Amino acid sequence: MIMLKKPRHRKMPKKVITGFLNSTPLLSSPKALRARADRDGYLFFKGLLPKEPLMEVRRQILEIVERNGWIRKGTKLIDGIGDLDAIAASDRLDPSLKYIGVGKQAYIDIQKLELFHSLAHHPRLIALYRALFQGAVLPHPRNIARVLLPAPSFNPTPPHQDYIYIQGAHSFWTCWFPLGDCPMSLGGLSILRGSHREEVLKVKTAKGAGGFESMLCDMDHTWVQGDYECGDIITFPSHVVHKALPNRKPGRIRLSCDFRYQPARDQVHISSLRPHMGGVQWRELYRGWKNKRLKYYWKSKARQVMAWDSSLLKGSEPIC
């Protein structure tokens, strides 16, 4: 008699804890900092960055949003309250809102902001990654502003690993922080703790930024989520699975930054040295900037590699 094996149940990670472990006390002990990163796959720092420049970048971005008619009249600009009717009308005409949160020209205007790019070079961030990498740091110039209008077509970013979109060296880290306070109800970032030990995962097509979702079958990791205050940052290596929580505050615009850093000794893909989303050259973005040290700084530092594995961005059939 032939005994048939029972099909194995393939589970998705469902465990969730609220509250990030604050690693600020470890900043004076790089060895302990690296040990915690190796254990958890993420580091959260309370109030690492000063609030003043973050709120000024917030104001500058919201001024661009307002010029496009997406701020509700009669509200304070700094509150970031969207005009839902105007945003819905733009959403029907411009598919960019579905992928980058605002229209393409508005996003180019945001990319021209010198202060936005200068945040990636803050001494506290450079010191952090120098301690993690035990050597010189290369901040990627392709800095990303997440300006998430409450558009009808927009979906939260699905679970994914950053490596498939960045490639180059596996050693890069992502730094995420909000521009302003970001409680969970506004849609902050959630981390799958321990997923940094996974290989590059297969993906399936999905709605939301990036267009792909990592397949998380048979993983026994735990999602960690929590509130962020202005000045808090969370950072993690390239294989960590993370996602955005849904925005449950009607009309509120969520603003945040995605910056990436890697050891200067490692290779970087050429795409990480170009402006995010394309459509513009650095010479146009740099026009009018006062700090010359922010311009083309990577040309003497980056070890470029041209290889790109397109198979990582081919969606597979769901297997869970």
* Residues 140-182 pLDDT 10s: 999 999 998 888 888 889 999 999 999 999 999 999 999 999 9
pLDDT for 34: 98
pLDDT given for residue 45 in this prediction:
98
Both structure tokens of 56: 């000024």
Please, what is the average pLDDT of the chain? 92
Q: Which of 38-47, 223-232, 244-253 shows the lowest mean pLDDT across its residues?
A: 244-253
Kindly give the pairing relationship between strand 233-237 and strand 173-178: antiparallel
Distances (CA, A) of 238 to 126, 187, 248, 266: 18, 21, 28, 14
Residue 120 DSSP symbol = G
Cα 200 to Cα 302: distance, rounded to the nearest angstrom: 24
Give 279-305 pLDDT, tens digit per residue. Answer: 899 999 999 999 999 999 999 888 888
Residue 8 has pLDDT above 70, yes or no: no
Closest by CA position to 162, among listed 148, 147, 142: 142
228 vs 217, which has greater pLDDT?
228
Question: In this structure, are strands 189-193 and 222-225 parallel, antiparallel, or unpaired?
Answer: antiparallel
CA distances from residue 175 to 45, 86, 128, 144, 252 in whole angstroms, order as listed: 11, 32, 11, 10, 23
pLDDT tens for 68-100 read: 999 999 999 999 999 999 999 998 888 888 777
Alpha carbons 132 and 82: distance in angstroms, whole number: 39
Share of the chain above pLDDT 90, in %: 78
pLDDT tier at 211, thresholds 50, 70, 90: confident
Mean pLDDT of 43-68: 98
What contacts 24+ positions apart, CB below 8 Å, involve 195-199? 195/41, 195/161, 195/219, 195/221, 195/239, 195/240, 195/241, 196/41, 196/42, 196/236, 196/237, 196/239, 196/240, 197/41, 197/239, 198/161, 198/239, 198/241, 199/239
User: Domains of the chain, with CATH numbers?
Assistant: 18-288 (2.60.120.620)
Q: 51-67 and 104-111 helices cross at what angle (nearest 10)?
A: 150
Rounded Cα distance between 221 and 159, Å, is 13
